[in-house]
Chain A
Amino acid sequence: AQSVTQLGSHVSVSEGALVLLRCNYSSSVPPYLFWYVQYPNQGLQLLLKYTSAATLVKGINGFEAEFKKSETSFHLTKPSAHMSDAAEYFCAVTGANNLFFGTGTRLTVIP
Chain B
Amino acid sequence: EPEVTQTPSHQVTQMGQEVILRCVPISNHLYFYWYRQILGQKVEFLVSFYNNEISEKSEIFDDQFSVERPDGSNFTLKIRSTKLEDSAMYFCASSERSWGQGTDTQYFGPGTRLTVL
What residues of chain A have their CB less than 8 Å away from a CB belonging to chain B?
A: 32, 34, 36, 42-46, 49, 51-52, 90, 92, 94-104
Contacts and interface: CB of A to CB of B under 8 A. Distances in A.
Contacts of A94: 99, 103
B33 A98 contact: yes
B8 to A, nearest CB: 14
B41 to A, nearest CB: 7
A52 B102 CA distance: 11
Given A36-B108, A96-B56, A97-B48, A90 B43 contact: yes
B25 interface: no
A76 B76 CA distance: 34
Interface of B: 4, 6, 31, 33, 35, 41-45, 48, 50, 55-56, 58, 91, 93, 98-100, 103, 105-111
What are the 7 closest A-B residue pairs judged by CB atoms, nearest first? A43-B110, A44-B108, A98-B45, A51-B103, A101-B43, A97-B48, A97-B56
A43 B111 contact: yes
Given A95-B56, A97-B55, A104-B43, 13 more contacts: A32-B99, A43-B4, A43-B109, A51-B103, A90-B43, A97-B31, A97-B56, A97-B99, A98-B56, A98-B58, A99-B106, A101-B44, A102-B42
